[in-house]
Amino acid sequence: MLARSVPARGISHSVPSPSTLPTSTMLRRTSPTPAAAAWQLLHRRTYSPAPTAPAFDPRQPLAAAVGPSPLSTPPPPPPGPPQQPKARSATSEFYRNLVPAMLHCLALGSIVYYALELTYMVLSRDKQGDELRAKVERLEAQLAEARVGKVEAQGGTPAPRRSWWKLW
């Protein structure tokens, strides 16, 4: 008999073998995502350069640091002992002591002035309010008297009306 070879169908064929499973290297992208690229750039970037020794001493003249030039003049002699600072004049000392004190006086004077101005405005407003209230009360009293007088005048016999065009 001829034997036929039939592939076996079973669980072993439905589950891929470990050699056919995708690995992390297979899943890795060839180019980084924009977020990953930004993250890498952020961590790579340095914001201050590494400290290095200066190429020359800034306290020395530039020509001495570079070296003598055939066209340059010879370097000046080294400085002597340090000089004493100049004494300040009496006028500068006077104003140096006076100006800060004057600024304090100016600030205090401004505060007092604005406080007095505000007090004056409040008191002036109160006084005008009292005067206007008194005037309103006086006018209301006059109005009440006029109303009473008008009622009494209407209560009597009316005066005969005369025509304006009659002369007799």
35-78 pLDDT, tens digit per residue, is: 777 777 766 766 566 667 766 666 776 655 555 555 666 677 77
Q: What is the pLDDT of residue 135?
A: 97
Q: What is the pLDDT of residue 85?
A: 78
Of the two residues 165 and 136, the one the predictor is more confident about is 136
Q: What is the pLDDT of residue 1?
A: 47
Position 97 pLDDT exceeds 80: yes
Residues 6 or more apart whose Cβ sits within 8 Å of residue 75? 61, 63, 64, 68
- Nearest CA to 61 out of 50, 53, 69 is that of 69
103-161 pLDDT, tens digit per residue, is: 999 999 999 999 999 999 999 999 999 999 999 999 999 999 998 887 666 665 556 66
Q: What is the pLDDT of residue 39?
A: 72
Confidence label for 89 from pLDDT (cuts 50, 70 and 90): confident
Residues 81-99, mean pLDDT to the nearest whole number: 83
CB 156 within 8 A of CB 149: no
**1 three-class SS:** coil
pTM of the model: 0.35
CA distance 127 to 133: 10
Q: Which residue has the tokens 């206007």?
A: 132
Q: What is the pLDDT of residue 139?
A: 96
